[in-house]
Amino acid sequence: MIGTKVSKHVFLIRGENKGKYPFCNCLFIDDRLKCLIDSGAGASQMMRLNMEGIDYLINSHAHEDHTFLNALLRNARVCCHENDAVAIESTEELKKRYGPPNSEIYNLMDYFLEVLNFKPSRVDLRLRGNDEFSFGNVRLKVIHTPGHSIGHCCFLIDDGDTRLIHLSDIDLTSFGPWYGCLDCDVDMFIDSISKIIEIVEVMNINIATSSHNEVVTGKEEIKMRLKNYCNKIFDREREILKLLTTERSIDNLVGRGLIYSRFPEPKLAYMIFEKVMIEKHIERLLRKGLIKSIRS
């Protein structure tokens, strides 16, 4: 058996390094047609899954930790939301989502991609929200949840008597939501989490899997974890507003523990992610009229 059984036909494949970046958890649907959500769990797991014969590989979004082993699933049809497909097909497009061509972060992304021996992947099928798949017993519905990336998707999975939701990078970690790319958007992230909470309630979902965390069970527990996760955004916003009473530039807000309590290596890259995340908050605060202007 591959992975941990979540329901009759659905298995969670825990990523190496406990599913932490640069790896991710994947979801394997072992039905008449076989489907895998994301490929970043690790090379040995992907080679085993390739032996099973994967028919559909659905990438939840374009980030490298979810796609870098796509090539090992040789015969799968690769699917992704239409808004993220181009960043899976082209390394340049992926890097441009982190920063403009030849910016520091654009060049630093080569470091991350080289570690993964990253290669772009073809995309065979471009998805939209509410698209549905039937694999035999299991049905899967695509839920477009932009914010973390413009084409980020969650998946509602109906396995006969069990319904579950795969939250992808709405990952319920204590770090909270990540929005350090140019295509990220804080308001969209908040709306996407609200949409998922609504679906969990209405569809009576009792199992939630995600890309970098353990399985969460129980409808109320899932809703509470999603609300707490979303609240990290509001906590950060309150901190930013507090700091803005004395600081007048975004650069002065970086390294104050607003997002990262300490920067992992390469530090410069994580400082830039933090700066972009603060800029995303500033965009939202300007839209809401809570601040008037700020220097970068």
Closer to Zn ion by Cβ: residue 108 or 244: 108
Task: Write out the E strands in 116-204.
Answer: 125-127, 132-134, 138-144, 153-159, 162-166
Closer CB to Zn ion, residue 98 or residue 135? 98
Q: In the bound complex, what is the minimum distance in angstroms from residue 242's beta carbon to Zn ion?
A: 28
Q: Does 38 bind Zn ion (CB under 5 A)?
A: no
Counting beta carbons within 10 angstroms of the beta carbon of residue 281, is it exposed (0 to 12), middle (13 to 18) or buried (19 or more)? buried
Residues 166 to 195 in contact with Zn ion, rule: CB under 5 A: 169
- Among residues 9, 14, 34, 63, which is the contact residue for Zn ion, using CB under 5 A? 63
DSSP tag of 109: H
CA–CA dist 246, 62 (Å, integer):
38
Number of residues that bind Zn ion (CB under 5 A): 2
Q: How far apart are CA 13 and CA 24, in angstroms?
A: 9
Per-residue contact flags (x/-) with Zn ion for residues 151 to 170, judged by CB under 5 A: ------------------x-
Give, as ranges, the residues between 89 and 118 that touch Zn ion (CB under 5 A): none
Nearer to Zn ion, 55 or 183 (CB): 183
Does position 84 interact with Zn ion (CB under 5 A)? The reply is: no
Give the DSSP letter of residue 78. E
Check the CA dihedral 156-124-211-239 and report its sign. negative
Identify which of residues 150 and 244 has a Cβ nearer to Zn ion in the complex.
150
Residue numbers at the binding site for Zn ion (CB under 5 A): 63, 169
